[in-house]
Amino acid sequence: MSNEKIPSRSENYSEWYNQVIQRAEMADYSPVRGCMVVRPYGWSLWENIQDNLNRKFKATGHVNAAFPLFIPMSFLEKEKEHVEGFSPELAVVTIGGGEKLEEPLVVRPTSETIIGYMYSKWVKSYRDLPILINQWANVVRWEMRTRMFLRTLEFYWQEGHTAHATQAEAEEETRRMLDIYAQFAIEEAAVPVIKGRKSASEKFAGAVNSYSIEAMMGDTKALQAGTSHFLGQNFAKAFNIQYLDVNNELQNCWTTSWGLSTRFIGAIIMTHGDDQGLIMPPRLAPIQVVIVPIFRNDEEKSKVMPVIDQLKTQLSDFRIKVDDRTELTPGFKYNDWEMRGVPLRLEVGPKDVEKGSVMAARRDIPGRDGKVILPQSEVTARVKELLAEIQANLLQKAIAFRDSHIFEPTDYEDLKRIVAEGWAFAWWCGDPACEAKVKEDTKATTRCIPFDQPDGHGKCVVCGRDATEKVYFSKAY
């Protein structure tokens, strides 16, 4: 535990991110290169994300199941585009029980193939459809350049996999789940996201169309925060997911997959964090309110602690923590909980007891401006109000930051200048060659073709040909 100052975000954003994660005890480095250990504080945030999404999934008719970690290599080879997309990232098991395996097993990078195989066994009739299954799991992708939460060899996520009788149903499902991700990001995490379609070169390997929610981080880079894929009949044909329709004719199913992972924790850190550390959105924060008792001796302690006990009872509906560590100064504790991003801190000393009040400090507003005195008799209602204000303020600040860093380039040179420190929203003809040129010249990629498009048409910012859609270009994690 240390009160040593972390680098500022403007000084070294990457090091700020790494240090905040470790100092706030969110995660730590594993002895295996590229892996992380998620510590209890980080896992508590992930549990809150899980709980929230689980409720949303189940409200739309989805159920949870569990599928194997190991996938036969031959399964991945059945869908050509899928295996080509994932081949460089595969971890393969060739020896089991001391003996060479007859067929290598892949440690799942994603589960479309194994789930497709099972669906082919379970689906016989149109009466068996739709199948709406989600699983919470860990997956492995052998990344070369890793960063905690954002890109690790092993990570945690949910992956939904559905099978439908019609194309229209499957496409509706794909967009519905993207909407759920966007609603979750904006309302629960206070992370403003843009919904849109990925370009052909950026889509999921094996999908007909991929959709994503894209968020701007505090250094203006983009983060793909969740994806939903319309798989058409590609996997259904590869794995014979077929059903007899009402006319007793054999048909291929239409399938989807969609996922959101622990990289979303990285999104929360980089969207809201400041030079003092994390700032947790109240709706997802592992600890919403920390209470710090202040006393210098046993006499003061005997006055303060009964009020603390009373506050614990009054605030039992919130996720609270009483910091009663006696070996640390109040100032150290304040810095410690600021680092961890707890939305609201309540301080209670002898004078507060005499006045029947509590000093509250908001994490989203530093210094004196974020402090407010609350009557003890009204503390429950006022804490509820303050947490709602903090949640709303975090979202508004993130929207303002994002919108102030999105620009519409007038020409290609202007685009190159913009993506150095922001997002460019520009007309694009759809040619992958133009997309590749931007990437080669600037390291920026197309993030998404947003659903919300301007009327009319324009000239492609790269080649000058006619274009009917605008796209976001930016550097990304």
Residue 359: inside a domain:
yes
The three-state secondary structure class of 339 is helix
pLDDT digits (tens, 9 = 90+) for 434-447: 999 999 999 999 99
Number of Cβ within a 10 Å radius of residue 465: 13
Per DSSP, 97 falls in state T
| Domain end call among 402, 421, 455 | 402
| C-alpha separations of 215 from 79, 327, 417, 445 in Å | 31, 41, 20, 14
d(CA 440, CA 395): 34
Q: Directed axis angle between helix 40-59 and helix 263-272, to 10°?
A: 110
Higher pLDDT, 169 or 145: 169
Which residues partner with 125 through β-bridges?
A: 244
> Looking at residue 170, what is its pLDDT?
98
398 and 445 share one domain: no
Pair (31, 60) in one structural domain: yes
**82-91, 193-202, 348-357, 459-468: least confident range:** 82-91
Q: Which of 142, 163, 165, 161 is nearest to 152 (CA)?
A: 142
Residue ranges of alpha helices (H) inside 185-297 are 234-239, 263-272
Q: Do 376 and 412 sit in the same domain of this protein?
A: no
Region 330-335: mean pLDDT is: 96
Q: What is the mean pLDDT of residues 361-389?
A: 97
Quote the pLDDT of residue 3. 64
Last residue of a domain, one of 216, 240, 272: 272
Distance, CA of 291 to CA of 276 (rounded, Å): 19
Q: Are residues 60 and 159 in the same domain?
A: yes
256 inside domain: yes
Q: Are residues 157 and 37 in the same domain?
A: yes
* Domain stops at, among 369, 402, 435: 402
* Residue 264 sits in the same domain as residue 301: no
* Residues above pLDDT 90, as percent of the chain: 95
Compute the half-sphere exposure of residue 242: CA atoms within 13 Å on the CB side of its CA: 9
**pLDDT (mean) for 172-199:** 98
Helices marked H in 232-344: 234-239, 263-272, 298-314, 330-340
Residue 362: pLDDT above 80? yes
pLDDT at 144: 86
Domain enclosing residue 44, as ranges: 13-67+124-272
Examine the domain organization and report whether 34 and 171 are in the same domain.
Answer: yes
| pTM for the structure as a whole | 0.95
Q: What is the pLDDT of residues 302-325, one digit of tens each?
A: 999 999 999 999 999 999 999 999
Inter-axis angle of helices 298-314 and 379-403, nearest 10: 70
Q: How many helices (H) and strands (E) does the chain have?
A: 14, 25
Tell me whether residue 178 is in a domain.
yes
- pLDDT of 1 above 70: no
Q: Tell me, what's the pLDDT at 78? A: 84
- Count the domains in the chain: 3
Clarify whether residues 17 and 159 are in a common domain: yes
Q: How many beta carbons lie within 10 A of that of residue 62, not counting itself? A: 21
- pLDDT tens-digit profile of 68-114? 999 999 998 887 777 777 788 899 999 999 999 999 999 999 999 99
